[in-house]
Structure 1
Amino acid sequence: MEWLSWFDARDYEFARQVLQRGTAALYLIAFLSTLNQFPALLGERGLLPVPAFLDFARRLGRPTLFRWRYSDALLKAVCWVGIVLAALLVAGLPQAGPPWLPMLAFLAMWFLYMSIVNVGQTFYGFGWEILLLEAGFTMAFLGSDQTPPPTTILILILWLVFRLEFGAGMIKIRGGREWRDMTAMYYHHETQPMPGPLSRQAHLLPRPLHKVEVLGNHFAQLVVPFFLFAPQPLASIAAGIIILTQLWLVASGNFAWLNWQAIVLAFAGVSDPVAHAVFPFIPLEWHKAAETPAWWLAVVVVVTVLLLVLSYRPLLNLFSRRQLMNASFNRWRLVNAYGAFGTVTKQRIEIVVEGTLGEEPEAPDDHWLEYGFKGKPGDVRRLPRQWAPYHLRLDWLMWFLPLRTVHEDWFYAFLDKLLEADKPTLRLLRLDPFDGERPRWLRARSYLYRFASRAEFRETGDRWVRVLLYEAIPPISLSPRRRRLP
């Protein structure tokens, strides 16, 4: 049907492949992260057990498979189903069939992961959770290899990228002064939640280059997103700029799958001719898809109208003086508001957990041994690891503790688990200094951390310099009965 030519984006087959397979790969990582960490954090014997949260969850009215019953076995079954579906989509098997097949696979992953997020409490309160949910739902309507990519869905994906980038840019402009006076990157690489192996080198760059980083960020987030909707090749150039800036964030930090999802989504603006011109090994002409069936056209049009209607409040939010970030306006987590780092932390405060086997807590400091976390800084000589797109949820919340309060329920529950030498909890850590034995006492100390200069590193081999600030939680014990020292 000639009149449907506007609906078929036949020059965006490469984009569809990247969008569907890339998003499915991130779902696989998200389900794997949940499988490995959820039982210890939120399971039946977790730090914030889901069974105790279900009454409140029901009052919220958010959809979840666990609305009436939770068990660790059911959670693991959900994760394994999600992993299998994601692996099939990464391999492209559902896409080889009719368009309803990948649609059902993506919608199933979306609902399964939403079921997890909606009971995940503070451990799932990150912007990239709702970003993954919105992306998964939208990818469901990109069709299959049997139909051309639908133009309206590609535009909606670009609208998602626009909200993600422009929203983050506006949050920064309205936020801390450091984004306006160009000094934000003096601090960011050092104080970000989870530094990577190159973060120290990025921090030690000359300050004029840090100002260039801020200018580049403002350009990429406040100017470039508008060109995603321009004719080709401008749209592809805009997408390329976003991809490059996100790759820099990947190299210099650990933000779970936030940056990788932004990279994948930006490919919605890259046409086949441009992709082939930059990388000739990418085919210029893919297999010819059949005409779009009328029923599929109807499905896509209905979904397009739905997402456009739901865009009203996020659009207003972008230009609101009280702009919300990482917020959902409906219980299905669709068409959300995004943004991060409206202000940049100027100093890095770390909570260090230590234990001792001594009978009394007045033991000398050298009798106290430090627990090691996988991602968050601790050992001053240890090179930070690259974890993203895998998400270390416990480590991330440890970063928030000194910014809020150490007296959070989940943190005291965590200390209790360490006192019990709880094996699932200890598996979340890199180092248990007691090799599975129960410590008699635990304490939490607050330290000021900063990256060592090049001269300091050559002299000592330390990558961090830390200074003890105060004792955040005095020694606590479970034996002979629970007691805390004043």
Structure 2
Amino acid sequence: GMIKVRGDQCWRDLTCMDYHYETQPVPSPNSYFMHHSPAAVHKLEVLSNHFAELLAPALVLVPLRMARIIGGIVQIVFMTGITISGNLSFLNHLTMLPTICCFDDRFLSFLFSKATKDKIALLQLQASSIKRPVGFYIRKVMDISLFALLAYLSIPVVQNLCSRRQVMNTSFDPLRIVNTYGAFGSITRERTEVVMQGTTAHDPYDSSAQWLEYEFKCKPGNVTRRPCYISPYHYRLDWLMWFAAFQNYQHNPWLVHLVAKMLNNDAFISELLEHNPFLDKDPPR
């Protein structure tokens, strides 16, 4: 959340969602309808984003049962909405998993039958009359130690978040336990696509040369084709093509290798594509 409000102006004037659904890496079929929502709805979406990312996380840390439950529900609803609106791989699914810790057994009891709950109540009654084993206290010590470790590792993260020179996604702790992450700090206003084409003409510069386009599995290409929905699966090549559109090939050396494979009609590359116009034919020049 911090990278957003300190980044692009559109997060502060509540207009980012006017562009996001159309310009995100891999839109889904729902992206079209959400993009055409009224401007008031887009502003509400930005406000909801700020609430879910800046305020609601604090509820998870409040030592009150209902506060944790509300915080967990907010995160799940928020991540579900993002999952519906586009193809962001498994990111949102992974983000939802830790929120399960916000819900205690009493809250989740509706998932189980009455017979199961009666058995659990009996076991809990029996366990309450038994002296707690040494392992119980060992676990408590480990829990407190882990909390202290996470609190200590969070110090530079919090300092970075509060700093006027906030830096995101530049360096990460080797154990990947506590880090400063940020996504969509800036929103593009126009969509730029890298279009891959090939020709078998002897003279590709001839005006009569026929150029055929490679079609990717999910990357926007043919404007008459319906967007796909693949989340939580992730077509990494399609995703990388979105980033390649903002840079030159020197910053994306893999793009040169991709073109070389296409020129050789590589079978493996063909499997990564939805349509190779030169499959089982002479390779392009």
TM bracket, shorter-chain basis: 0.7 to 0.9
How many angstroms apart in 1 are the aligned matches of 2:82 and 2:139? 38
1:235 aligns with 2:68: yes
Cα contact 2:201–2:209 (8 A) shared by 1: no
1:427 aligns with 2:260: no
CA spacing shift, 1:254–1:281, aligned 2, 3 Å: farther
What count of residue pairs does the alignment treat as equivalent? 272
CA spacing shift, 1:307–1:353, aligned 2, 3 Å: same
CA spacing shift, 1:350–1:247, aligned 2, 3 Å: same
Among 258, 264, 277, the alignment partner of 2:97 is 264
Among 166, 171, 185, the alignment partner of 1:342 is 185
Q: How does 1:182-193 map to 2 (within 5 A)?
A: 182-193=14-25
1:217 aligns with 2:217: no
1:414 aligns with 2:258: yes
List per-residue Cα deviations over 1:38-71 (Å, max 9, x = no partner): xxxxxxxxxxxxxxxxxxxxxxxxxxxxxxxxxx
Q: How does 1:107-256 map to 2 (within 5 A)?
A: 169-230=1-62, 231-256=64-89
Cα contact 1:327–1:336 (8 A) shared by 2: no
CA spacing shift, 1:179–1:267, aligned 2, 3 Å: same
Letter in 1 for 2:269: T
Note the aligned Cα RMSD (angstroms): 2.4
Deviation at 1:355, TM superposition (A): 0.6
List per-residue Cα deviations over 1:64-120 (Å, max 9, x = no partner): xxxxxxxxxxxxxxxxxxxxxxxxxxxxxxxxxxxxxxxxxxxxxxxxxxxxxxxxx
Which runs of no fewer than 5 residues in structure 1 stay unpaired?
1-168, 442-486
Question: Counterpart of 2:228 in 1: which secondary structure?
Answer: coil
How many angstroms apart in 2 are the aligned matches of 1:312 and 1:176? 26
Q: How does 1:373-412 map to 2 (within 5 A)?
A: 373-407=216-250, 408-412=252-256
TM-score, normalised to structure 1, is: 0.52
List per-residue Cα deviations over 1:220-245 (Å, max 9, x = no partner): 11111111122011210111011101
Which runs of no fewer than 5 residues in structure 2 stay unpaired?
none
Q: Greater relative contact order (Cα 8 A, min sep 6): structure 1 or 2? A: 2
List per-residue Cα deviations over 1:244-271 (Å, max 9, x = no partner): 0110100011111111111112222122
Among 214, 227, 230, the alignment partner of 1:371 is 214
Deviation at 1:398, TM superposition (A): 0.5
Greater Cα radius of gyration, structure 1 or 2? 2
Deviation at 1:297, TM superposition (A): 4.8
Question: Counterpart of 1:272 in 2: which secondary structure?
Answer: coil
List per-residue Cα deviations over 1:119-163 (Å, max 9, x = no partner): xxxxxxxxxxxxxxxxxxxxxxxxxxxxxxxxxxxxxxxxxxxxx
CA spacing shift, 1:172–1:284, aligned 2, 3 Å: farther
Deviation at 1:362, TM superposition (A): 2.4
TM-score, normalised to structure 2, is: 0.86
Cα contact 2:153–2:178 (8 A) shared by 1: yes
Deviation at 1:192, TM superposition (A): 0.4
CA spacing shift, 1:295–1:219, aligned 2, 3 Å: closer
Residue identity over aligned pairs, in percent, reads 38
